[in-house]
Amino acid sequence: MDIQTQFFTYGEKDSDKLKLHDGSLFGPITLAYETYGQLNEQKSNAILIFHALSGSQHVSGYNPYIESVGEKWTDECKTGWWNEFVGPNKLIDTDKFYVICVNYFGGCYGSTGPSSINPTSNSPYGGEFPKFSFGDIVDSQIPLFNYLGIKQFNSVIGSSLGGMMALNFSSRYPEKVRKIITIACGLRAPILTKTHNLEQIYAIENDTNFNSGNYYKSKKPNKGLTLARMISHKTFVSLKYMKSRMKDKCEQKDEDFSWYKIKTSLESYLLYQGNKFSNRFDANTYIYLIAAWSNFDLKKDHNVNEDYEIFLNCNDHEYLIFSIDSDCCFYPEEQLELNDALIKAGINSKYIKVTSEKGHDSFLLEPELYYNEIKEIIEK
């Protein structure tokens, strides 16, 4: 059965607008979201999933089309990005749980973002869209949860960038969740991540079509976005997995290079990944999100001196923290740092390091590595 994205709009009145981290107000806001399963009468079986950097609200099943997204909703997007994890009789069993995932504020898959129409100018926001933080993204979803009548989630789950959202949510709204599961994330953006993110932002901004983010009525900065994705892709998969995905041929389009010619399957693979991504994602959304990622530091968000102080109001929580041994986007040391902070705060936390040859993207590809532990905690 096909899945349909739903939409929730709020903030038409000044009193309902979203207050951003800089104190400014923004609205109206539309959030694109999908739900799976049925919310029980007690509204106690809800599970919230925060998606990763380039993910969407479409977690499971098949969604053939989202009108407001148009050509960006490519074939790659139509099957849920966690289809093997979520559904009837799957790891997160939608015969038992009500699962919700929301496309982020600032996103490009139906939620209000830079490509959305500014009602004041009747043109896309473009570079005039406000800069936002991960906290702003989390705050933007609270009115939706209130509308659905969900006072407390059974569990909140996030991987990669979504894991940082889950930590922000659980530490700032401790009363709204009982169990928190994170995969391959950390308490802050490390130096290497900030370096990679700056390289990507520079690549996009220096595409001649970027035009300070105001490109929606002309050519898109696809070359800049392609290069940005090539920079990041090598941190998302292990070198061994990358090698296994290469084909024994070299392909390039005439417009890719004027002088250089692709000579190896590695180069062809990276170029293919970059071009494929630029066809399905928005450059503004990408740089807004990675800029917010670079600025993420949960200790600063809470204005505390020590990491454990972040979680002093989370006494009733239970955490499950996953590392991936081959991850070079979020190294296992970052999850150990998180686990140590939780234990020092007196929080019930379990740390697991999985063994995988696939690198950071293991959380998308290998449900069997996470099955038993996740099933145990969410079904307690």
Q: Domain with 217 in it: what CATH number? A: 1.10.1740.110
Cα(109)–Cα(77) distance, integer angstroms: 10
Answer yes or no: 68 catalytic.
no
Which residue in 278, 327, 349, 362 is the catalytic one? 327
Q: Domain for residue 1, yes or no?
A: no
The total number of residues written for the chain in this structure: 380
Domain total in the chain? 2
Same domain for 314 and 186:
yes
Among the three residues 263, 290, 317, which one is the final residue of a domain in this structure?
A: 290
Question: 226-248, pLDDT tens digit by residue?
Answer: 999 999 988 888 777 777 776 66
Same domain for 112 and 197:
no
Which residue from 148, 144, 142, 189 is spatially nearest to 169, judged by alpha carbons?
142
Among the three residues 290, 323, 350, which one is the final residue of a domain in this structure?
A: 290
Which residue in 56, 155, 160, 278 is the catalytic one? 160
Answer yes or no: 317 catalytic.
no
Q: Domain for residue 272, yes or no?
A: yes
Q: Domain for residue 328, yes or no?
A: yes
Question: 191-240, pLDDT tens digit by residue?
Answer: 999 999 999 999 999 999 999 999 999 999 999 999 999 999 888 887 77
> For each of the chain's 380 residues, which pLDDT tens digit applies?
579 999 999 999 999 999 999 999 999 999 999 999 999 999 999 999 999 999 999 999 999 999 899 999 999 999 999 999 999 999 999 999 999 999 999 999 999 999 999 999 999 999 999 999 999 999 999 999 999 999 999 999 999 999 999 999 999 999 999 999 999 999 999 899 999 999 999 999 999 999 999 999 999 999 999 999 999 988 888 777 777 776 666 676 666 777 788 778 888 888 989 999 999 999 999 999 999 999 999 999 999 999 999 999 999 999 999 999 999 899 999 999 999 999 999 999 999 999 999 999 999 999 899 999 999 999 98
Contact 47, 156 (CB under 8 A): yes
Answer yes or no: 51 catalytic.
no
Which residue in 356, 360, 361, 362 is the catalytic one? 360
Same domain for 39 and 106:
yes
Per-residue pLDDT at 301 = 94
Cα(18)–Cα(258) distance, integer angstroms: 46
The whole domain housing 240 covers: 193-290
Per-residue pLDDT at 266 = 84
> CATH number of the domain that 57 lies in?
3.40.50.1820
Between strands 6-10 and 29-36, the pairing is antiparallel
Cα(107)–Cα(57) distance, integer angstroms: 10
Same domain for 121 and 14:
yes
